[in-house]
Structure 1
């Protein structure tokens, strides 16, 4: 049986180093279903084991979370949503993300929504 997890929020991180390069941009550090928090690496590992992560907007549109590998061993993999044809940056529009905070795309929903 395939385990499906609807994501309800993100935690962003800024600064620090990626390899030897300084980071000055925000990136997703971890995600939650409203009950459990996972680091991006944990989500990548779980997707590799067949777990299906997704986000759903208030209209019911579902976007699957995928792993993106840069192909460069010096750069780490990251997660993003598969284009759903409705809206971009689905993860960043979840509570805790910059698009949600700005009010631009804060129309995402979760059955386990809570404070982030």
Structure 2
């Protein structure tokens, strides 16, 4: 009975902290995946709307800024906001078709 009371249940994999090297690799992977998804939507919509290169660059910058802020809020959590998990927040492809149709 004493062996059972001393046995410790290990933390779930989602709760365990990764070593620094793995954290850096996961962070780099997260940034690379986020960047590709975050710039595609403004590029498609900007091209369909006939915007200039400067205006498309502004759309991309605004999208990256807002996606970064939303990702930080979701990952770290601010009070009751955020799920405290490493998720990417950004523009959705769900509305791209209707936006392109309206712009065209």
Same fold, judged at TM 0.5 (above): no
Which TM-score band (shorter chain)? under 0.3
* Bigger share in strand: 1
Q: With structure 2 as the length reference, what TM-score do the two structures score?
A: 0.28
Q: With structure 1 as the length reference, what TM-score do the two structures score?
A: 0.26
